[in-house]
Structure 1
Amino acid sequence: MNALTQPVAVVQSLAGSQHDLHHARNLLETTLAFVRQQPNITKDPYVISRFGDVKIRIEVAAALLERAEGLLDRHEEATEISVAVAESDLASAEALATASNAEFELTGRRTALPGSLHDPLRWKLHLIGNFRLNGIHPPSVHPSAKEAV
């Protein structure tokens, strides 16, 4: 079984996105605090751009999470919910990875983060792409089952 064939509770998946997003925001704040204590690097164009990149990825992830939660709250079609949740999961994981990498690049430290080996992200890319490109509904989604993704 993989992320395409294994039903995952929507609420559980959204909680994972929220968790990753929370950690990404915390990493951004701690990295900002550290760098601001180093006045000689706060004007470096690379450092400035890196913070812009991290912030944008976090905001995109937050918007996709909000969209997925909205679709769920409005009881939209199960496939749309499934794909929106997968998009949120990917964006949140990407924001967290970007924040973690920026932390290491700019501070020399890396905060240990929990992994998500139970739900590999690469399968979510396939799920999203196959639906958006080919209109193929995820096999784990049944039109009448909104509680499973």
Structure 2
Amino acid sequence: MYPRLAACAAFALMLFVTQQRASGQDCACGPDFCQGDPRYAPRLAKAKAAMRNEGYPEDLIALMDKGGACFARIDRAPVNFHIRVYTANASEDVEWNEDNDRIARTNLLNGKINGYFKFNTLRAFKCCGEKEYNERADYDSDHDVNRSIAIQCLKSGGSVACQ
């Protein structure tokens, strides 16, 4: 009985590896972490649709297009957004909503804070073949954020510029 079970397991593994290679998924990290996974685009579209249904603005939803293109990143990402307000000495995270965004903007204009980030996650997710978040060129250790996956808002003259 055990040899038959072992043969079935070996066949299943061989079939899985063959399917992964055929779909371009031949990476050592496991299928959820491979870039180019055919499940990625539909899962991303589903996540973004859910965020639209929750009323999040398009500039925040567009952050979901940035970062590693592997299934695990989208599947494990939070379904909401946050704001990190910061001064020279401290930072605080609050959940993004229109009121908190307005308060952060007002506090920035009034000089109560130095700036703020809007984000889904502060740190870049590591898909197969990518560097750790803190080894990437966009990592800002002062604010513990990968800038390429966040929107930073700073005072610019008498207004707030977010990019």
Whether these two folds match at TM > 0.5 is no
Larger of the two Rg values belongs to structure: 2
TM-score normalised by structure 1 residue count: 0.28
Structure with the larger helix share: 1
TM-score normalised by structure 2 residue count: 0.27
Which is bigger in relative contact order (C-alpha 8 A, separation at least 6)?
Answer: 1
